[in-house]
Structure formats: structure tokens, C-alpha cells
Amino acid sequence: MTSTPILELNALVKRFPVKGGLFGPKKFLSAVNGVSLQIRPGETLALVGESGCGKSTVGKTIMKLHDPSEGSILIDGRDIAPLSRARMKPVWRKVQTIFQDPFSSLNPRMTAGAIVGEPLTIHGLASGAEKDRVVAETFRKVGLRPDQMSRFAHEFSGGQRQRLSIARALVVKPDLIIADEPVSALDVSIQASVINLLIRLQKEMGLAMLFISHDMSVVEHISHRVAVMYLGRLVESGPRDEIFRNPKHPYTQALLSAVPIADPTSRDRQRIVLKGDVPSPIDPPSGCPFRTRCPIAEDGCARAMPDTTLLPSDHRVACHVRAREAVA
């Protein structure tokens, strides 16, 4: 891996306006609140958290499907945050997305070959016989047969449709893939084959990948580094093994305690059940956003937002208690 990031987010913020009533003040939902991260070529960063934590909004904002409210989005060192949609075409050549639902992300009126070949036409990379050759080669690369190019999306199984989505993303040879819950809509029996396909293609093509997921078992298998989100903020990040073996933030510990294990009667790990519900992102609690559910919260947690503390092994955690323990 090179030391230069293909993607760098700096204090990324995305707020959505919310109606506050006929005469009430205008309110905002803070879906992403000060997220900073980096991904290098050949690396997979998994962005994890509960539904509604803002992880998918991060992916859509990187693609400029949402315009960022604040912060910068650097692709190969260039800040794309100020760019209009009209100027994003070269960026979309470098950054491609694999969506969660292969059933709704494929055009039912187009053949599979036309779906995969469309990005080549849009970016002016190939046409005619050359386009057909590249599409056929990409079909083989994702485990599909070239003779299936004339079929329509409804003629494929769920796993095959997701392979089509992967082929469509890879056909333009991007530098970065944003995979938003790419296997959550698939049967468990075929999730592993799609994950292994992504791992193999990443190694072959040197891809960087932002893997968005709530499934920690899948994340442990595919990621190099992990970043944990809660209520729009990063609460912990670091190398995969460090996060899974030595989690520091109480929220990360709770997420990992819920991962199924081979022996459910084992006493090696205690299940952590969080109390209460996730607060509203429209009216978050003061101080640390996790304090209302945190088993180790203190009075000071309500007064100030915790800074991110750098621990050994490039491990970072945003927690008042853990920061004090680190310097003790």
C-alpha cells in the first residue's frame, strides 16, 4: 500500500433541513457530524454502526449524491466538495458504487450486457466490438458467462444480480469502490461467495474500498481497518485486529458482544445490552452523544464533546473515560 490516500475526508458534515412547524424555527438533522478518515490504494476501510448512524450518508456524500454542508472530500488530493454535478464526471470515473439492493439498482429494460457496458459509453472509454470485448471480459472476472450478456436482470438470481452490479462498477477500472451494504439483501448462503469475490478483485485490481455495513462478522472478514459511527460521529477507529481484539469505546464493545459465536453457551464473552434508544439526530444530547446509553458515563460526559485520542497501533477513540485511562 502507498502512503498517499486515494480518499481523505476532513471534518465532513451533512445536515438536512427539517420543517419546524408553521411558525417554529427551522431545524436541521445532522446525519454526518465532523467525520474525518482516509483510505489508501489496496485498502478496505469498513464503516460500521447501527441503522441511522449516518454511514450510508457518508458514502452518498462522497459520491456527491448529497452536497456536503461543511468539510472537504479529497480524491487523489483534490477537494471535490465545491464541484457541481456537471464537473463530477471525471471523479465518477474514479469512484464507483455498489448499492445494497441488486433488485432495484439494475434497469429492468436493459440487457445485462447493456447495463455493464453503459459506463463505458458514458465515459467514452469504448464502443462497438471493443466495448463488447471489455464487457465480456468483465463478466468473466465476476464469475458470469459472456453468453449471459443478452439476458435481462430478472433472469438472474440475487447473487448473480449483485455480481452484475459489481461488474458495472468495475468495468471502468475505478480507483475506489464504495460498497454500501453490498451483501445484506442476499441470502446468507451466497453472501460469502460475493465477499470473497470482492476480496479477490480488490487484490487483482489494487482497489481501495469503503465497505459500509452493520454486520461485524462480514467486516472482520473483509476489512483492513474499521471506523465505528454513532449518531453521525466517529467514536472509534483503527486496524481491524486492534478493534476486534481490543475495543475501547463502550459502543464498539456492545456491537462486538452481539456478534454470534460458535458456542452460544460460552462464558468467554459477556453480552452487553445497551439501554434506551438512539437519540434523535435533530435534538442530540449535550456533550458525548453516546452518554445517554453508556454504561461508564460520568457527569463530565454531559458537558463537553470528547476529543479523539490517539492510542498505540494507530487506534483512535472518542471517549472522556478512555482518554483519561490512556494518560493515567
Per-domain boundaries in the chain: 7-223, 247-328
Confidence at residue 276, expressed as pLDDT on a 0 to 100 scale:
79
Q: Name which residue leads in pLDDT, 297 or 270.
A: 297
**H/E stretch holding 216:** helix 216-222
Mean pLDDT value of segment 114-143: 95
Confidence at residue 262, expressed as pLDDT on a 0 to 100 scale:
57
Q: Is 102 a residue whose pLDDT tops 80? A: no
Confidence at residue 201, expressed as pLDDT on a 0 to 100 scale:
94
Mean pLDDT value of segment 171-175: 96
Q: Is 1 a residue whose pLDDT tops 50? A: no
From 3.40.640.10, 3.40.50.300, 3.40.190.10, 3.20.20.60, which CATH number describes the 7-223 domain?
3.40.50.300
Mean pLDDT value of segment 179-202: 89
Residue 87 DSSP label: G
Confidence at residue 197, expressed as pLDDT on a 0 to 100 scale:
94
Q: Is 20 a residue whose pLDDT tops 70? A: no
Confidence at residue 19, expressed as pLDDT on a 0 to 100 scale:
76
CA distances to 22, 26, 151, 301 from 30, in Å:
21, 13, 43, 20
Confidence at residue 297, expressed as pLDDT on a 0 to 100 scale:
92
Q: What percent of the chain has pLDDT over 90?
A: 74
Question: What's the pTM value of the predicted model, to 2 decimals?
Answer: 0.92
- CA 221 from chain centre, in angstroms, equals 15
C-alpha count within 13 angstroms, C-beta hemisphere, residue 143 = 17
DSSP secondary structure letters along 173-210? --SEEEEESTTTTS-HHHHHHHHHHHHHHHHHHT-EEE
Confidence at residue 274, expressed as pLDDT on a 0 to 100 scale:
83
What is the chain's mean pLDDT, rounded? 91
Q: How far apart are CA 247 and CA 326, in angstroms?
A: 13
